[in-house]
Amino acid sequence: MKVLMLNGSPDKTGCIARAFEEIEMILHEQQIETEVLQMGR
């Protein structure tokens, strides 16, 4: 399984990006692939 996370925030290092990092860690522990796409500026 692979999870695609879309970040629409203009701040690439903001709260959403940090939350995605935490989610990625949890998903990777479960052997689930992730990909984050930065959609904001």
DSSP state of 4: E
Of 12, 13, 15, 26, residue with least CA distance to 34? 26
Across 8-34, average pLDDT: 96
State the pLDDT confidence band at 35, using cuts at 50, 70 and 90.
Answer: very high
pLDDT in tens, 3-20: 999 999 999 899 999 999
Give the chain's mean pLDDT. Answer: 95
Q: What is the DSSP string of the chain?
A: -EEEEEE--S-TTSHHHHHHHHHHHHHHHTT-EEEEEE---
